[in-house]
């Protein structure tokens, strides 16, 4: 049995939260909602998934992977806007035979979805999952849940430029009197702040069955995952869920209807009820949270449908995952930079005088750049001064000339080593950036990036050696820089950093040997 998940991720009703979190990735109690969707379908026999992505696709793809941990197969389809969804759906229908389960990845109906595959008629006519309603009937007056079994020819006939919201009325019109309906008692949704809190409350109240839950129910309505520390004096009013590695301070009042993600700290005397707290969030002392969604330092009020960013880290802030690992990585970079600086320090004045003699226009450059990783909100960015040497061209409009000219030198790995790498080691030793990472950028350059790319960039780390430089050199095109940075931002490891650094020094050695042969 196969399913097509519409996980485009965009939600106009949750614009602030949607900047950094696609709608299917919003937590439902203990895990991202789309993981519940997948496990709900796997439990009912679904083995093949086609996932249509658009907004912040890397987050969803990183979470789900290839599907092997569920014994399934996943295929991902990326679209730039929602008008391209029908085209992709039609292409999928042409490749696979039989009816297809079309599922909105921000909703789960309380239903046995396999009902839509019973009987030969279901292979020729649509089966729509609709909420129970007095107006329910063949006319399709009941609200649609966003889930339906559709025959292949229906998918292939769906208008190319239609929107996802147009599917339901189009099906009712195209198959008038032929549609079958499955009555659904309830649906949980992630399409508005109100529905997010309502979905978490319904699951905590045990009003929705068929979902997997981690953690142990230590008493009726109280779920605790592993490594939860609860200080004396804390009060818990069911229903409540607390994720792994959380710390509940003294005098905290938690519940009812509170879902706290993993790696959170609720400081002393805080109060949380009818609230969703995202993973890796710090809640300050004596802070009262009710009818809210908290995503690290973002506070969203469900009643008003709006939110704000808290700049005071003692009220709300984020707790970064794998802090020890990242700290050790930073220590390694600082140690590496210090060792190299100690070795070359006696020769730096001579090198500078040599460059000054060859290129009189050389000058020390100081750029104010953003310190990474950083929050998405520009008001929270911190900056530092990045040092380098600048060799201006002999003629700005002139192409690269013979070896020894400024134009030729700027394109050599030796130039990058002398003018960018060595001066930048001062910043690495100070802890401003690391040896390998993405290109350091000024605030205005970061703001000029597209939202999706800017988010990936801000969550990465800056370095003197970049993948785009190692792979494509100093004249990398914007597309080459984009692809290299997106790949590095989402998959960098220490092993990858060591490999890039080794290739960088091989490039310098080859450049020196080539220059020596020319001499």
Asked if residue 219 lies in contact with residue 48, where contact means CB atoms within 8 angstroms, the answer is no
For the chain, give the mean pLDDT: 84
Q: At 294, is the pLDDT very low, low, confident or very high (cuts 50, 70, 90)? A: very high
Q: Residue 181: which pLDDT band, with cuts at 50, 70 and 90?
A: confident
Helix 323-344 vs helix 422-430: angle between axes, to the nearest 10 degrees? 140
Count of other CB atoms within 10 angstroms of residue 355: 17
Asked if omega into 256 is within 30° of 0 (cis), the reply is yes
Q: What is the pLDDT of residues 196-221, one digit of tens each?
A: 999 999 999 999 998 988 888 999 99
Tally of CB atoms within 10 A around 311: 13
322 has a pLDDT exceeding 60:
no
Question: Distance between CA atoms of 173 and 151, rounded to whole angstroms?
Answer: 15
Residue 83 forms beta bridges with which residues?
none
73 forms beta bridges with 48
H helix or E strand, kind and range, residue 480: helix 478-491
Please check the confidence at residue 87 and state whether its pLDDT lies above 60. Answer: yes
Number of Cβ atoms within 10 Å of the Cβ of 284: 18
What 3-state DSSP class applies to 173? Answer: helix
Upstream peptide bond of 373 is cis (omega within 30 degrees of 0): yes
Which residues, 6+ apart, have CB-to-CB distance to 140 below 8 Å? 128, 130, 168, 172, 179, 181
245-288: per-residue pLDDT in tens?
Answer: 899 999 999 999 999 999 999 999 999 999 999 999 999 999 99
Question: Bridge partners of 77?
Answer: 52
Kindly list the structural domains of the chain, giving each domain's residue range(s) and its CATH number in brackets, ordered by start. 2-189 (3.90.550.10), 214-318 (2.160.10.10), 323-518 (no CATH)
Mean pLDDT of all residues in 2-20: 91
On whether the CB atoms of residues 503 and 495 are closer than 8 A, the answer is no
Element (H, E) at 181: strand 180-184
Structure tokens at 210: 């068929």
Segment among 38-47, 122-131, 186-195 with least mean pLDDT:
122-131
For residue range 364-381, list pLDDT tens digits in order: 889 999 999 888 778 889
Q: What are the angstrom distances between the C-alpha of 130 and each of 145, 178, 181, 219, 392?
A: 5, 15, 7, 35, 68
| Vertex 461 angle, CA 441 and 308, to 5° | 80
Asked whether residue 397 carries a pLDDT value surpassing 50, the answer given is: no
**What is the per-residue pLDDT for 398?**
41
DSSP 3-state assignment of 59?
A: helix
Q: Residue 384 has what pLDDT?
A: 94
Residue 399: predicted pLDDT = 41
Range with the poorest average pLDDT among 164-173, 202-211, 303-312? 164-173
On the question of pLDDT at 324 being above 80, the answer is: no
Give pLDDT, residue 444: 94
In this predicted model, which residue has the larger pLDDT, 493 or 270?
270
- The mean-pLDDT minimum among 80-89, 193-202, 439-448 falls in 80-89
Torsion of CA 423, 424, 429, 435, to 10 degrees: -140
H/E run at residue 260: strand 258-260
SS3 348: helix
Contact 134, 61 (CB under 8 A): no
């Amino acid at each position: 049995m196969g399913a097509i998940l519409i996980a485009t991720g965009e939600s106009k009703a949750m614009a602030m939260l949607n900047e950094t979190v696609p709608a299917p990735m919003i937590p439902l109690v203990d895990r991202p909602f789309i993981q519940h969707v997948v496990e709900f379908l796997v439990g009912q026999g679904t083995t093949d998934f086609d996932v249509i992505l658009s907004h912040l696709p890397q987050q969803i793809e990183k979470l789900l992977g290839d599907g092997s941990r569920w014994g399934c197969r996943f295929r991902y389809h990326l679209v730039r806007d929602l008008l391209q969804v029908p085209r992709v759906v039609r292409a999928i229908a042409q490749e696979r035979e039989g009816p297809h389960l079309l599922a909105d990845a921000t909703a789960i109906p309380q239903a046995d979805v396999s009902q839509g595959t019973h009987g030969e008629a279901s292979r020729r006519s649509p089966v729509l999952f609709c909420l129970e309603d007095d107006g329910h009937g063949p006319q399709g007056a009941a609200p649609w849940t966003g889930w339906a079994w559709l025959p292949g020819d229906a998918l292939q006939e769906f208008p190319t430029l239609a929107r996802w919201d147009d599917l339901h009325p189009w099906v009712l019109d195209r198959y008038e009197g032929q549609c079958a309906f499955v009555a659904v008692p309830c649906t949980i949704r992630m399409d508005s702040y109100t529905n997010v809190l309502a979905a978490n409350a319904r699951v905590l109240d045990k009003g929705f069955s068929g979902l997997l839950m981690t953690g142990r129910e230590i008493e009726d309505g109280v779920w605790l995952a592993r490594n939860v520390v609860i200080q004396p004096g804390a009060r818990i009013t069911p229903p409540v869920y607390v994720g792994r590695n959380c710390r509940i301070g003294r005098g905290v009042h938690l519940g009812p209807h509170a879902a706290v993600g993993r790696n959170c700290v609720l400081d002393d005397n805080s109060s949380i009820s009818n609230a969703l707290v995202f993973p890796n969030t710090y809640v300050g002392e004596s802070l009262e949270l009710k009818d809210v969604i908290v995503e690290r330092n973002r506070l969203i009020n469900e009643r008003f449908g709006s939110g704000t960013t808290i700049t005071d880290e003692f009220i709300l802030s984020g707790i970064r995952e794998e802090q020890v690992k990242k700290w050790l990585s930073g220590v390694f970079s600082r140690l590496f930079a210090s060792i190299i600086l100690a070795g070359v320090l006696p020769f730096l004045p001579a090198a500078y005088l040599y460059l000054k003699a060859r290129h009189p226009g050389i000058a020390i450059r100081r750029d104010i750049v953003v310190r990474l990783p950083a929050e998405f909100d520009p008001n929270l960015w911190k900056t530092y001064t990045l040092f380098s040497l600048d060799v201006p061209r002999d003629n700005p409009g002139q192409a690269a000339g013979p070896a020894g000219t400024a134009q030729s030198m700027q394109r050599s790995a030796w130039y990058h080593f002398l003018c960018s790498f060595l001066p930048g080691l001062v910043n690495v030793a100070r802890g401003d950036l690391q040896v390998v990472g993405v290109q350091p950028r000024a605030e205005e350059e970061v703001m000029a990036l597209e939202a999706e790319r800017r988010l990936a960039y801000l969550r990465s780390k800056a370095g003197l050696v970049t993948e785009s430089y190692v792979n494509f050199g100093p004249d990398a095109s914007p597309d080459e820089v984009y692809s290299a940075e997106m790949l590095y931002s989402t998959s960098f490891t220490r092993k990858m950093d060591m490999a890039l650094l080794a290739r960088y020094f091989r490039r310098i050695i080859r450049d020196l040997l080539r220059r020596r042969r020319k001499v």
